[in-house]
């Protein structure tokens, strides 16, 4: 039998939980939070609003953890491989942004909130990339 004649079912129609959509929603929350805080630098934005946005972003990422934990037939090895390398890349990017904030004398609560948002950013992107790769991978 030649490779051309092999009929393998496509993974394109595979039904999986909305990890990308939830991750994008979390990313929107992180972007809104960073813009809100950065717009006030070097002064402080309202902590209550900033923390609320941070909580929403974190909650959405926890939803994604829950959705991913329930997956059974999934290419976890590929997911981990891609997520690990993407995490390395995005940790460098988040580190550079953090460096700019610290260099600009951002301190105290403001710095903590911005740092946590950057952590969420650096964790979210690798999950989205790894999920998109692994969803088209056969187990």
Residues that bind other proteins (CB under 8 A): 3-4, 6, 8, 10-12, 20, 23-24, 27-28, 31-32, 34-35, 38-43, 78, 82, 85-86, 89, 92-93, 96-97, 99-100, 103-104, 124-125, 128-129, 131-133, 135-137
Instruction: Name the residue nearer to other proteins (CB basis): 101 or 116.
Output: 101
Q: Closest approach of Cβ 91 to other proteins, in Å?
A: 12
Q: What is the DSSP letter of 4?
A: G
Task: Report the alpha-carbon distance of residue 54 to residue 64 in Å, rounded.
Answer: 16
End-to-end CA distance of the chain: 23
Instruction: Name the residue nearer to other proteins (CB basis): 87 or 129.
Output: 129
Q: Closest approach of Cβ 25 to other proteins, in Å?
A: 9
Q: Closest approach of Cβ 45 to other proteins, in Å?
A: 10
Instruction: Name the residue nearer to other proteins (CB basis): 50 or 86.
Output: 86
Helical residues (DSSP H) of 1-139, grouped into ranges? 19-38, 47-69, 76-103, 108-134
CB 22 within 8 A of CB 64: yes
The count of residues in the chain is 139
Instruction: Name the residue nearer to other proteins (CB basis): 24 or 71.
Output: 24
Task: Report the alpha-carbon distance of residue 29 to residue 17 in Å, rounded.
Answer: 20
């Amino acid at each position: 039998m030649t490779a051309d004649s092999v009929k393998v079912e496509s993974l394109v129609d595979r039904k999986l939980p909305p990890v990308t959509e939830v991750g994008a929603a979390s990313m929107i929350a992180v972007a809104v939070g960073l813009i809100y805080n950065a717009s006030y630098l070097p002064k402080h934005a309202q902590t209550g609003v900033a923390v609320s946005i941070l909580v929403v972003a974190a909650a959405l990422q926890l939803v994604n953890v829950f959705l991913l934990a329930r997956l059974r037939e999934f290419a976890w090895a590929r997911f981990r491989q891609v997520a690990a390398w993407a995490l390395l890349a995005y940790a460098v990017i988040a580190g550079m942004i953090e460096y700019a904030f610290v260099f600009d004398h951002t301190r105290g609560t403001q710095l903590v909130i911005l740092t946590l948002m950057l952590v969420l950013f650096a964790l979210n992107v690798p999950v989205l990339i790894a999920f998109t790769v692994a969803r088209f991978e056969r187990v």
